[in-house]
Amino acid sequence: MKALVLFALVSAASAFHLTQQHDEFHFKSWMAQYNKVYSMQEYNERLQIFTANKRKVDKHNAGNHSFTMALNQFSDMTFSEFKKSYLWTEPQNCSATKGTYISRNGPYPDSIDWRKKGNYVTDVKNQGPCGSCWTFSTTGCLESVTAISTGKLVPLSEQQLVDCAQDFNNHGCNGGLPSQAFEYIMYNKGLMTETDYPYTAMDGICKYKPEQAAAFVKKVVNITAYDEMGMVDAVATHNPVSFAFEVVSDFMFYDKGVYTSTKCHKTTDKVNHAVLAVGYGMENGTPYWIVKNSWGDGWGINGYFLIERGKNICGLAACSSFPVV
């Protein structure tokens, strides 16, 4: 009997050791892929976080979900660390309840993708460890609206918004709203190009030069809060649309498929990330938005994601807007 117990204990210890080796092998491969270097103490800490994240991803993918998860550049971070670096830390007053947008009430095409309609959407950018997603949502939208209007697609400056738009209730790397950023561009009479005012992923001093302004806003259009059909109308008939929503922990590791969640909130006060709807469609009977993110093209579907449409998932219809040029 003792021999059996001892054998079971040895087997369990050996299986545990093998699992540890397996985890460490995965972690080292991941480190090489993302050029990560740690001190010895940090190595062990990050290995534990990575292993917990890997378990979470594997467990999700073993279940029956409309989207899959994958390890990515954030795999050595806890969600609270990720939030501090990549999402808004200041709550945003996303309160444009009655918008200025007038819907036409359809009919609308079954699907639309502004990336395929012409040279209207810039490449996916990377905000880095700065909660400046709102600036990328803003430039992405203004770049597209300007390109649809003029035929010229020019990457615009996020850094100008980070450095200069504080008077419009924006907070640089701590968050802001595209609707407020469009207001800033309108009253400030222009936004410079990415080339003339490059991105640093840090709060800086405003260096705006009006004579170098390359894009302008005549009017800001806010879609009525929670009017998701208004968003459909705008994307179908006009241009891509900026919107905000609440990111919760599983979204960090989104890989592909139609994202949906029961853990996030649907209200204006919880949104913590701004992105750009460039189109919509349907997959296996589920309607979705096609959304451009700002976490680089190695995240999600080449930097994009699909999110369920028609249910205000994670508050995505809480505060959407676009500029008129």
Within a domain: 70: no
CATH code, 233: 3.90.70.10
The strand pair at 286-292 and 273-283 is best described as: antiparallel
- Could you tell me what percent of the chain has a pLDDT over 90? 84
DSSP annotation of 165: -
Q: How many angstroms separate the CA atoms of 318 and 236, rounded?
A: 19
The reply to whether 69 falls in a domain is no
Instruction: Say if residue 15's pLDDT is above 60.
Output: no
The pLDDT value given to residue 92: 73
Q: Pick from 64, 92, 113: which residue ends a domain?
A: 64
Q: What is the mean pLDDT of the chain?
A: 92
The verdict on residue 282 lying in a domain is yes
Collapsing DSSP states into helix, strand and coil, what is residue 294? coil
pLDDT score, position 21: 83
Q: Is residue 74 part of a domain?
A: no
- In a domain? residue 95: yes
In the predicted model, is pLDDT for residue 98 greater than 70? no
pLDDT for 6? 53
Tell me what pLDDT residue 96 has: 55
Distance CA 109, CA 116 (A): 14
Do 30 and 159 have their domain in common? Answer: no
End-to-end CA distance of the chain: 82
Strands (E), the chain: 67-69, 112-113, 219-223, 241-245, 254-259, 273-283, 286-292, 304-308, 320-324
Does residue 71 fall inside a structural domain?
no
Crossing angle of helices 133-150 and 178-188, rounded to 10°: 60
Residue 158: strand, helix, or coil: helix
Residues 43 and 146 in one domain: no
Residue 1: partners with Cβ closer than 8 Å, 6 or more residues away: none
Q: Are residues 124 and 294 in contact, defined by beta-carbon separation less than 8 angstroms?
A: yes
Count of structural domains within the chain: 2
pLDDT of residue 106: 81
User: 220-233 pLDDT, tens per residue?
Assistant: 999 998 999 999 99
pLDDT in tens, 38-85: 999 999 999 999 999 999 999 999 999 999 999 999 999 999 999 999
Summarised one tens digit per residue, pLDDT across range 282-306 is 998 999 999 999 999 999 999 999 9
Q: Are residues 264 and 223 in the same domain?
A: yes
Phi, psi of 257 (to 5 degrees): 95, -175
Query: In this structure, are 35 and 144 located in the same domain?
Result: no
Closest CA to 284 of 42, 75, 62, 65: 65
User: Would you say residue 187 has pLDDT above 90?
Assistant: yes
CA distances from 111 to 232, 278, 317 (A): 10, 11, 18
The Cα–Cα gap between 183 and 220 comes to 7
Q: Which of 218, 212, 163 is nearest to 191 (CA)?
A: 212
pLDDT (average), residues 183-208: 97
CA distances from 237 to 114, 136, 148, 225, 263 (A): 11, 22, 12, 19, 32
Mean pLDDT over residues 96-125, rounded? 89
Q: Residue 216 in contact with residue 193, Cβ under 8 Å?
A: no
Residues 99 and 180 in one domain: yes
Considering the domain architecture, whether residues 124 and 255 belong to the same structural domain is answered as: yes
Residue 72 forms part of a structural domain = no
The CA dihedral of 54, 59, 64, 65, to the nearest 10 degrees, is -40
Range of the domain at 27: 1-64
pLDDT of amino acid 286: 95
Q: What is the pLDDT of residues 204-220, one digit of tens each?
A: 999 999 999 999 999 99
The catalytic residue positions are 133, 273, 293
Shared domain for 150 and 49, answered yes or no, is no
44 and 83 in one domain?
no
On whether residue 158 sits in a domain, the answer given is yes
Identify residue 252 by its one-letter amino acid code.
M
283 close to 96: Cβ distance less than 8 angstroms: no
pLDDT at 184: 97
pLDDT of residue 100: 81
**Of 10, 40, 64, which closes a domain?**
64
What is the band of 7 on the pLDDT scale with cuts at 50, 70, 90? low
CA–CA gap between residue 175 and residue 181 (Å, rounded): 11
pLDDT value of residue 25: 93
Residue 13 has pLDDT above 90, yes or no: no
